[in-house]
């Protein structure tokens, strides 16, 4: 496969000049330095070089942001607007995103190593699409009229939950920002966002655009910082009514503990995954190989639903391994600004070293390295697309979320066997099934314990399709009307009825 750092895709492409316009905290409608005056570095994973120094928020800054959000919720116009009025502002917010697609995609490329072309075509337009979906839902929030058993008139109200803390991961900075912020704002909540310290740039730009769109001061606050300081302060804050976290299962435990030990705030968690893809003998082989390649290596494997446990039925297993290895070897690893590149760098040095460590563990535990497994390029955090065979279900590379371009291939015989294997994980985020047999598809999709099942497709996300996990992949849904519901609480209102002709 081709080398990294631009040579991988050949020459003839231009790296755009990236201007970082926003590096300070955004609190109560204004950009400001951290109370401490401290900053931290955000680095370009293509080279390891510093992009910018970002204001480092900690507990004092979180306190200020939550205070602003509390005031905006308790006394400001946002939750008191009609849903239609909120929706109009959110539509304008989405229009401004559309006007800055290229600049936002550049920021996610230099900050997270994401493919620039994919950012322009999918990530940033997808963020605007999701925002518009919830803008359209903002005036469709309603309760129910109750048929009481007594002479009472009862109804329910759906009210915004209040101040929401959002802790956003680094792998999809724009997508995950709007997974969380869009429904919360549509519901009438006010929010404090703690973006990942690896990827704060686009979140600060979105704060600027929200202000330009007319989102009132204090409604959207962005506090970059580190998990043990800013994130912990947000999770434990007594004036935060709800917390939504996406990240590792280990940190998810800490978030739940902090919520329980503070004000028992509501928590939703989207955590790790180790998603299986099951390929049956009747599958179209080329389609299956391409789908699995896409499922494993998209975003350099840095995606919670990556299909990394690949179960292939014995009748096509050998042919599948051969074609999968050939396809992986053709992958171009290099500068994510190069339109011919398939895979950019891992997000930072820590993640790069973690992936390489798991590749070494796979070899030491007895799996067979078929292709890849090495760093590539002379700088930056690039790793070859990697395939292991002879993988056992209890190996670390089959059980642990690696979050990198590593595929574990395993053979199976029967439907019953593969259902047991697919469920042999502490996670339950997603799964894929590749078959032409509708009966097999129905049986397996209902038997795998995961929150999303994709049949003859993968990454089939849609604003109307709820997404979230089973087991240790967390609880609570993003997207769809389920994603809006978690930022609402139900109030029951009852009044007596006197001299009414009917109940």
pLDDT of residue 6: 45
Q: What is the DSSP letter of 16?
A: P
Q: Are residues 259 and 305 in the same domain?
A: no
Assess if residue 372 is contained within a domain. Answer: yes
Q: Residue 270: which of 186, 195, 179, 205 has the closest Cα?
A: 179
144 given a catalytic annotation: no
Q: Are 222 and 26 in contact (CB under 8 A)?
A: yes
Q: Are residues 266 and 306 in the same domain?
A: no
Assess if residue 495 is contained within a domain. Answer: no
Q: Are residues 243 and 94 in the same domain?
A: yes
Q: Are 361 and 397 in contact (CB under 8 A)?
A: yes
pLDDT of residue 12: 73
pLDDT of residue 502: 83
Q: Are residues 247 and 284 in the same domain?
A: no
Residue 57: give its domain's CATH number. 3.40.605.10
Q: Are residues 450 and 479 in the same domain?
A: no
Assess if residue 7 is contained within a domain. Answer: no
C-alpha 306/C-alpha 13 separation (Å) is 29
Q: How many domains does the chain contain in total? A: 2
Compute how many other C-beta atoms are within 10 angstroms of the C-beta atom of residue 192. Answer: 32
Assess if residue 1 is contained within a domain. Answer: no
Assess if residue 500 is contained within a domain. Answer: no
Buried b (16+ CB within 10 A) or exposed e, 128-145: bbbbbbbbebbeebeeee
For residue 94 the two structure tokens come to: 């989405």
Q: Are residues 318 and 291 in the same domain?
A: yes
Q: Can you give the pLDDT of all 503 residues of the chain as single tens digits? A: 555 444 444 567 889 999 999 999 999 999 999 999 999 999 999 999 999 999 999 999 999 999 999 999 999 999 999 999 999 999 999 999 999 999 999 999 999 999 999 999 999 999 999 999 999 999 999 999 999 999 999 999 999 999 999 999 999 999 999 999 999 999 999 999 999 999 999 999 999 999 999 999 999 999 999 999 999 999 999 999 999 999 999 999 999 999 999 999 999 999 999 999 999 999 999 999 999 999 999 999 999 999 999 999 999 999 999 999 999 999 999 999 999 999 999 999 999 999 999 999 999 999 999 999 999 988 999 999 999 999 999 999 999 999 999 999 999 999 999 999 999 999 999 999 999 999 999 999 999 999 999 999 999 999 999 999 999 999 999 999 999 999 999 999 999 999 888 87
Q: Are residues 255 and 118 in the same domain?
A: yes
Q: Are 490 and 157 in contact (CB under 8 A)?
A: yes
Q: Are residues 217 and 118 in the same domain?
A: yes
C-alpha 97/C-alpha 105 separation (Å) is 11
Assess if residue 400 is contained within a domain. Answer: yes
- pLDDT tens by residue, 149-179: 999 999 999 999 999 999 999 999 999 999 9
Which ranges in 244-387 belong to alpha helices (H)?
249-261, 285-297, 317-330, 349-364
Residue 352: give its domain's CATH number. 3.40.309.10
Assess if residue 11 is contained within a domain. Answer: no
Q: Which of 270, 302, 384, 401 is catalytic?
A: 270
Q: Are residues 46 and 191 in the same domain?
A: yes
pLDDT of residue 13: 85
Q: Are residues 295 and 204 in the same domain?
A: no
- pLDDT tens by residue, 184-243: 999 999 999 999 999 999 999 999 999 999 999 999 999 999 999 999 999 999 999 999
Q: Are residues 179 and 39 in the same domain?
A: yes
Compute how many other C-beta atoms are within 10 angstroms of the C-beta atom of residue 414. Answer: 10
User: Which residue range(s) make up the domain with 211?
Assistant: 25-271+475-490
Q: Are residues 308 and 415 in the same domain?
A: yes
Assess if residue 128 is contained within a domain. Answer: yes
Q: Are 441 and 435 in contact (CB under 8 A)?
A: yes
């Amino acid at each position: 496969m081709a080398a990294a750092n631009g040579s991988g895709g050949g020459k003839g492409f231009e790296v755009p000049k990236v201007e970082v316009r926003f590096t300070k905290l955004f609190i109560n409608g204004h950009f400001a330095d951290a109370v401490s005056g401290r900053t931290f570095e955000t680095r370009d994973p293509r080279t390891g070089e510093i992009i910018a120094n970002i204001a480092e928020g900690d507990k004092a800054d979180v306190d200020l942001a939550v205070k602003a959000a509390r005031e905006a919720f308790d006394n400001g116009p946002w939750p008191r607007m009609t849903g239609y009025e909120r929706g109009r502002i959110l539509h304008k917010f989405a229009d401004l995103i559309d006007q800055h697609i290229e600049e936002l995609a550049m920021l996610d490329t230099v900050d997270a190593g994401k493919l620039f072309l994919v950012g322009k075509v999918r990530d940033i337009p997808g963020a605007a699409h999701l925002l518009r979906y919830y803008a359209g839902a903002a005036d469709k929030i309603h309760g129910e009229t109750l048929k009481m058993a007594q002479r009472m008139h009862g109804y329910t109200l759906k009210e915004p939950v209040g101040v929401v803390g959002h802790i956003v991961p680094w792998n999809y900075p724009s997508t995950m920002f709007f997974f969380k912020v869009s429904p919360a704002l549509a519901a009438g909540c006010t929010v404090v966002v703690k973006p990942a310290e690896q990827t704060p740039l686009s979140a600060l730009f979105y704060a600027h655009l929200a202000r330009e769109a007319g989102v009132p001061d204090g409604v959207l606050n962005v506090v970059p910082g580190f998990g043990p300081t800013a994130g912990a302060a947000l999770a434990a804050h007594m004036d935060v009514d709800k917390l939504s976290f996406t990240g590792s299962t280990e940190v998810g435990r800490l978030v739940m503990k902090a919520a329980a030990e503070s004000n028992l705030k509501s928590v939703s968690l989207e955590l790790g995954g180790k998603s299986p893809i099951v390929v049956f003998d009747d599958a179209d082989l080329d389609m299956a190989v391409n789908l699995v390649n896409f499922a494993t290596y998209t975003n350099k494997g840095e995606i919670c639903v990556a299909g990394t446990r690949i179960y292939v039925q014995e009748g096509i297993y050998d042919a599948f391994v051969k074609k999968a290895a050939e396809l992986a070897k053709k992958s171009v690893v290099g500068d994510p600004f190069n339109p011919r590149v398939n895979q950019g760098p891992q997000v930072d040095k820590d993640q790069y070293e973690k992936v390489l460590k798991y590749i070494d563990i796979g070899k030491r535990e007895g799996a067979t390295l078929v292709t890849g497994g090495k760093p590539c390029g002379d700088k930056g955090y690039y790793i070859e697309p990697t395939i292991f065979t002879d993988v056992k279900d209890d190996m670390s590379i089959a059980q642990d979320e690696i979050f990198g371009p590593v595929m574990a291939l395993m053979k199976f015989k029967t439907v019953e066997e593969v259902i047991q294997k697919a469920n042999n994980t502490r996670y339950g985020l997603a799964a894929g099934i590749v078959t032409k047999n509708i009966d097999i598809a129905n049986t397996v999709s209902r038997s795998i314990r995961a929150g999303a099942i994709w049949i003859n497709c993968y990454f089939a996300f849609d604003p109307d399709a709820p997404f979230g996990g089973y087991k240790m992949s967390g609880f609570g849904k993003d997207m769809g009307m389920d994603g809006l519901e978690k930022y609402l609480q139900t109030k029951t209102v009852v009044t007596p009825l006197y001299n009414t002709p009917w109940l």
